[in-house]
Amino acid sequence: MGGHDHTWIPSDADRAAEGGVKTPQYSHWIRYNTFYGLVFTTTLATFLLAADFLEWRATGSVFVLANRFPGTVALVVQLLAAFFGLIHVAVVCRLINYAFRLRLRKASVTLDILRTWMDMSIPRIDWDLPLRFFFPVLLIVFLSLVPAALWAGSITPFVDQTTTSGMLLVPSYEDVSLIKEYPMMIGESGPSLRTQKGFFTYSVGVQHVGSLLSSAASASSLGMKRSLHPKFDNTQYSYVGRSYGVGAPTGLTDSGISLSLDKQVAGYAYQEQGYLCNVTCIYNRTSDFRITGPFREWIYEAAGNLPDSVDSGEMSAYIGHNGDAIVAMGVSHSERSPRRYLAIAAGASYGFLNSTQCELEFSPYRFNVTVDIANLNISVKPHLPVPDFNPQRNLTRTLVRQFELLSNDLTNLYVSLLGDAFNSSIAAYNMSRSTFSPVPLTEEESTLAGLTNSVTAMADEMLVAYASAQLMVGKQLTQQTALVYLYGLQFGQRAYIYSIFAFNALVLLAVAIEALRTHGWRSLGRFNYLDPRDLIIAASRGGPDVARAADALSGNGAKKRMKHVWLLSDPDEGNGQLVVRMKGDGEGHVGIVVRSPLPSPLLLGGHGEEKVEVVEVVEEGVWMDGEVDTEKLAAAREWRRRNRVGLFGSL
């Protein structure tokens, strides 16, 4: 603390000052400087709590640097945690030091207790302490490690997500003039565009045959996991589960989000209008749609009326070596038909599909679309029904007609590729059901289930294809707000943030209570037992009594027995039991003196400068030349009883 020539007790110094002796004053800064460190810890703990509550995240250059130099970040975190933990430990130790220094003005303590106070005030482990003092010190040392650990957990950054707003372009259906059925003739297909992002066309059923077949074949995914199927372009995105016909802008018209934020975008979510397609397939044994022929060599006709046929029945021609490999799908051709049904007529090779009929119901919905840019996944969930955004139903009526075009285009002399795709879906459904249900399905049940899944998947994918064509070919688009998820740095975990805030509050409360209890440590003297200069000077002022008492306790040649259990030290020689106290002289200077001398019956061979023979004082007795002196034993026990002190000394 400084001022070692005046390590005085305030009350004595006041009296000394009245007698004309000038003594130094304890300045405000010296007394309170350690506590001002709590300004930094309180500010940071409050900021971390607010950041967690308000979900603040560090983005931009901070995020980039933290990810580029993780080792440096770890080093800085450890240094800061150690620094702020040191502030807390310093404040707590200063409180302990001040409390014990005030206590020392009134209490008498043994030298072991004084060592314990010093170890608690630093803190440090002293392996030479008796166990009854060692464990309290060990507890303080362990607790001194906690603040830095809590700070490390509170400021360690880890990757999290934050949100901002963005804008992307979604398809508009105000102009649907390009969405119509185009003739299946070379040069008569609908408008198309091929770019690095993929091939986009309004002739969906003709130009996207391969993708549609793949969707039909894999519609009944194995197991209980949600199927993952690729999007109809080169963006590398895949749908998790059904696409519901939306999500086309992902990877195509979302560059304002995915490329404008320095590649820190984790994903985004937005809402898009589309049609929720529900498919119901049945066996219609009385269906009028049948295969007849051949009328000319290898030419067969699939004709008949459907439930939604208007004006006349349906008819289309198929080729085949014979009629066994034909899978024909009939869809109403009239523009006035709602076009909700498709009927299947099949030859012997695909007899399980013959006389099946599917109804497609398109409900306008608003969908929640979530895009995971890191994993290139798209998840779609229906949200709420909305008014029909395409009342003329150009989109849905044209879509259903694509099934008739597909079935005709995918039938050759020997096989129906569409029939094989349906068969794959049916087989996958059978295997998935057999894995989780011991009850086998009938052929009719599995056929209808697999066919329903295939038609649903194809309808969803065609809706996406038309939406992509509106965006890329027709340029029919509109802006849509998106919630963008950004990668950001979150500092600390919530449990550690709350813990360090509470710990800091407890330290503040402890400082406030001690300041009130001690009136701002007004009675604190300049003597500090942690400073060896103060100890040496104060001990010298106490005179030779301390040394004489120590010699009397330690003995010289008598039989020694350990007085206490010691951990990692030499046997107890007894000096630690010496009881001392503080005493001010006439000028207020501090001296360390023995609280009470040994009782005279224990002193042999004279007093003062004469040689003092020491007798080992133990609970079992007083040993003197191998014999027990009853009088000295009684006096020793009484002396030990009066001089026994606890961790906080005795008055």
Whole domain around residue 329: which residue ranges? Answer: 163-488
1 pLDDT above the threshold of 50: no
The CB-based long-range contact list for 75-84 (8 Å cut-off, 24+ gap) reads: 77/152, 77/155, 77/156, 77/157, 78/152, 80/151, 80/155, 81/148, 81/149, 81/151, 81/152, 81/155, 82/148, 84/40, 84/41, 84/44, 84/147, 84/148, 84/151
- Residue 121 has a pLDDT of 87
Q: Element (H or E) spanning 639, and its range?
A: helix 630-642
Tokens describing residue 540:
């010298």
In this structure, the answer to whether residues 515 and 647 fall within a common structural domain is no
- Residue 377 has a pLDDT of 94
In this structure, the answer to whether residues 535 and 520 fall within a common structural domain is no
pLDDT tens digit sequence for 469-481: 999 999 999 999 9
In this structure, the answer to whether residues 558 and 430 fall within a common structural domain is no
In this structure, the answer to whether residues 225 and 147 fall within a common structural domain is no
Bond before 123 cis per omega within 30 degrees = yes
Q: Are 182 and 473 spatial neighbours (Cβ–Cβ below 8 Å)?
A: no
In this structure, the answer to whether residues 122 and 226 fall within a common structural domain is no
Q: How confident is the model at residue 557 (pLDDT cuts 50, 70, 90)?
A: very low
| pTM for the predicted model, two decimal places | 0.67
Q: How confident is the model at residue 468 (pLDDT cuts 50, 70, 90)?
A: very high
- Residue 23 has a pLDDT of 37
In this structure, the answer to whether residues 248 and 302 fall within a common structural domain is yes
603 versus 146: the higher-pLDDT residue is 146
In this structure, the answer to whether residues 482 and 598 fall within a common structural domain is no
Q: Are 633 and 577 spatial neighbours (Cβ–Cβ below 8 Å)?
A: no
- Residue 612 has a pLDDT of 34
pLDDT tens digit sequence for 368-393: 999 998 889 999 999 999 999 998 88
pLDDT tens digit sequence for 629-644: 566 666 666 656 665 6
426 versus 584: the higher-pLDDT residue is 426
Q: How confident is the model at residue 308 (pLDDT cuts 50, 70, 90)?
A: confident
- Residue 257 has a pLDDT of 84
In this structure, the answer to whether residues 358 and 296 fall within a common structural domain is yes
pLDDT tens digit sequence for 233-285: 999 999 998 999 999 999 999 888 876 655 678 889 999 999 999 999 999 98
Q: How confident is the model at residue 205 (pLDDT cuts 50, 70, 90)?
A: confident
Where is average pLDDT lowest: 9-13, 263-267, 418-422, 631-635?
Answer: 9-13
Q: How confident is the model at residue 52 (pLDDT cuts 50, 70, 90)?
A: confident
% pLDDT > 90, the chain: 36
pLDDT tens digit sequence for 481-534: 999 988 888 888 889 999 999 999 999 999 999 999 988 888 888 888 888 888
Q: How confident is the model at residue 19 (pLDDT cuts 50, 70, 90)?
A: very low
Facing residues of 345 across strands? 328
Average pLDDT over residues 17-34: 60
In this structure, the answer to whether residues 591 and 482 fall within a common structural domain is no
Please state, rounded to an integer, the average pLDDT across all residues of the chain: 81
What gap in Å lies between CA 405 and CA 391, rounded to an integer? 24
In this structure, the answer to whether residues 404 and 262 fall within a common structural domain is yes
**Contact residues for 637 (Cβ-Cβ < 8 A; gap 6+):** 619
In this structure, the answer to whether residues 266 and 139 fall within a common structural domain is no
**Contact residues for 341 (Cβ-Cβ < 8 A; gap 6+):** 306, 307, 308, 331, 332, 357, 358, 359, 360
Average pLDDT over residues 415-423: 92
645 pLDDT above the threshold of 80: no
Average pLDDT over residues 184-203: 83
In this structure, the answer to whether residues 417 and 518 fall within a common structural domain is no
Q: How confident is the model at residue 430 (pLDDT cuts 50, 70, 90)?
A: confident
Domains held by the chain: number: 3
Mark which of 524, 543, 574 sits at the end of a domain.
524
Average pLDDT over residues 392-416: 89
